[in-house]
Amino acid sequence: MSAVSGIKEKSSARVRKSWEKTQRTIYRIYQEADGTTVKEKNKPLATHTVKGIKVRELPLKDGTVSFQCDIPSKIAGKRRLIRLKTLDEAIAYAEQAFIRRQNKGLEGFNLQSDQQQDALKALKTLADRGTLQEAAKFYIAHHFPKAGDISLVELQAKHEKHLADLNRRPHTIRENTSRLNDLISHLKPNTLAKNITADALSTYLQSNPQWSNHTRRSHYAVIRSYLNFAVEEKYLQTNPINAVKRPPKPKDNKPGILTIEQTSKLLDAIKSTENEAQQAIGPYVVLALFCGIRAEELDRLTWDLVDEEKQTVEIPENIAKKHRYRYVDIPDNAVMWLRHFGLKATGPIRAKNHRKLVELSRDQAGIKKWPKNAMRHSFASYHFERHGDSKKTANELGHRGEDLLFSHYRSLTKKGSGSQYFAISPTNQPNIIPMPATAS
Say which CATH class 152-243 falls into.
mainly alpha
In tens, the pLDDT along 112-151 reads: 657 767 776 777 787 777 777 787 777 777 788 888 999 9
As a whole-number percent, the residues of the chain with pLDDT over 70 amount to 86
Say which CATH class 260-421 falls into.
mainly alpha
Q: Is the dihedral of CA 150, 151, 157, 163 positive or negative?
A: positive
N-terminal to C-terminal alpha carbon distance within the chain: 131
CA 42, CA 14: separation in Å to the nearest integer?
17
Examine the pLDDT at 250 and tell me if it is beyond 80.
no
pLDDT attached to residue 138:
79
Name the more confident of 404 and 207. 207
What's the rounded mean pLDDT across residues 412-434? 77
Mean pLDDT, the chain, whole residue set: 84
SS3 content of the chain, % helix, strand, coil (to 5): 50, 15, 40
What's the rounded mean pLDDT across residues 18-33? 74
Q: What is the DSSP code (8-state) at residue 151? A: B
Confidence of residue 405 (pLDDT cuts 50, 70, 90): low
Of 24-33, 170-179, 183-192, 381-390, the range with the lowest mean pLDDT is 24-33
pLDDT attached to residue 4:
36
Sorted by sequence, the CB contacts under 8 Å of residue 232 that are 6+ apart come out as none
pLDDT attached to residue 407:
58
In tens, the pLDDT along 379-396 reads: 999 998 898 888 888 889
Query: pTM value?
Result: 0.56
What burial class does residue 88 get, using C-beta atoms within 10 Å of its C-beta: 0-12 exposed, 13-18 middle, 19+ buried? exposed
Nearest to 212 by CA among 245, 177, 249, 255: 249
Confidence of residue 102 (pLDDT cuts 50, 70, 90): low
pLDDT attached to residue 93:
82
pLDDT attached to residue 436:
39
Give domain limits for the chain: 1-44, 47-106, 152-243, 260-421
pLDDT attached to residue 433:
41
